[in-house]
Amino acid sequence: MRDFNRVIRYLAYTLELLVLFMLQETPGLLPPIYGVRPVLLLPAVVAIALFEEEVPAMAFGILGGLFCDFGLGCGLGFHGAVLAILCFLISLQSRSIMQVNLATALLTGLWAIGLTICAQWFFLYYFKYSLPQYAFTHHYLPKFFYTLLFLPLLYYLNRGLYQAVRAQDR
């Protein structure tokens, strides 16, 4: 029963990431602010990692990252690797250093999503295109704040999912 509930939870996470990927990719669905749209997969994998153990957290980080890579059409694996490391560390942090609540989730999202977007800028933009400072202030920074807005919603969604399936487990 315990394994069955875990499988159900993992399937729900997979479905959630797939749906969020479609939502973030659909043109005209999420209104652009300062010409940018949010990356919903980033707060989703952060929220999942807050509740799951290290290896499942890393696995969902990889899945979310592969979706990001696929959507961008860049080399498959960059976001996967970055989010694998970050989700692993977030899971470790939430299990050993701090309690999980909205405040710590926001704090975690702040550094984790910030690092991911900085890595995007550095590895995918800085060496390849012109005017990196302009791109950072006019594209990456607004995208970071816009993405962060969705963290509370996805935190409560994943907390509800985790608690519901874990309660059945008990």
Partner 1 sequence: MKDFFKGSSLKVLIIAVVVLLGLAIYTATAGGTFIAGLLGLVSAPMQSIATDVTGGVTEFFDLESYSKEELKALVERLQQERSALAQQLVDYEDKKRENEQLKQQLQIAELEPENKMCSATVIGRDPNDVFAGFSIDQGSLSGVSVGDPVITGQGLVGVVSQVYATSSVVTCLLSEDLQVAAVSIDREESGVVTSSVITASSGLLRLNYLSSETKLEEGDIITTSGAGGSYPANIIIGQVQSVEKSENDISKYAVIKPYEDLAHVKDVQVIISFPGKGEEAPTLPVGGEDHAKEDGE
**Number of residues counted as binding partner 1 (CB under 8 A):** 52
Does 12 sit near partner 1 (CB under 8 A)?
no
Please identify, using beta-carbon distances, which residue of 80 and 109 lies nearer to partner 1: 80
Q: Which of 10, 125, 126, 145 binds partner 1 (CB under 8 A)?
A: 125
Written as one string, the DSSP assignment of 44-106 is HHHHHHHHS-HHHHHHHHHHHHHHHHHHHTS-TTHHHHHHHHHHHHHHHHHHHT---SHHHHH
CB atoms within 10 A of CB 109: 23
What CA–CA distance (Å, rounded) separates 92 from 69? 25
Q: Which of 99, 127, 131, 170 binds partner 1 (CB under 8 A)?
A: 131
Please identify, using beta-carbon distances, which residue of 89 and 161 lies nearer to partner 1: 89
Q: What are the Cα distances from residue 115, in Å, to 10, 49, 157? A: 26, 16, 23
> Taking the C-alpha atoms of 95, 170, 48 and 110 in order, what is their torsion angle to the nearest 10 degrees?
-50
Q: Which of 43, 64, 80, 109 binds partner 1 (CB under 8 A)?
A: 80
Q: In angstroms, what is the minimal distance from the CB of 167 to partner 1?
A: 26
Site string for partner 1, 39-78 (x = CB under 8 A): x--------------xx--x---x--xxxxxxxxxxxxxx
**Alpha-carbon Rg for the chain in angstroms:** 16
Residues 91-120 that bind partner 1 (CB under 8 A): 92, 96, 120
Residues that bind partner 1 (CB under 8 A): 18, 21-30, 35-39, 54-55, 58, 62, 65-78, 80-81, 84-85, 88, 92, 96, 120, 125, 128-131, 134-135, 138-139, 143
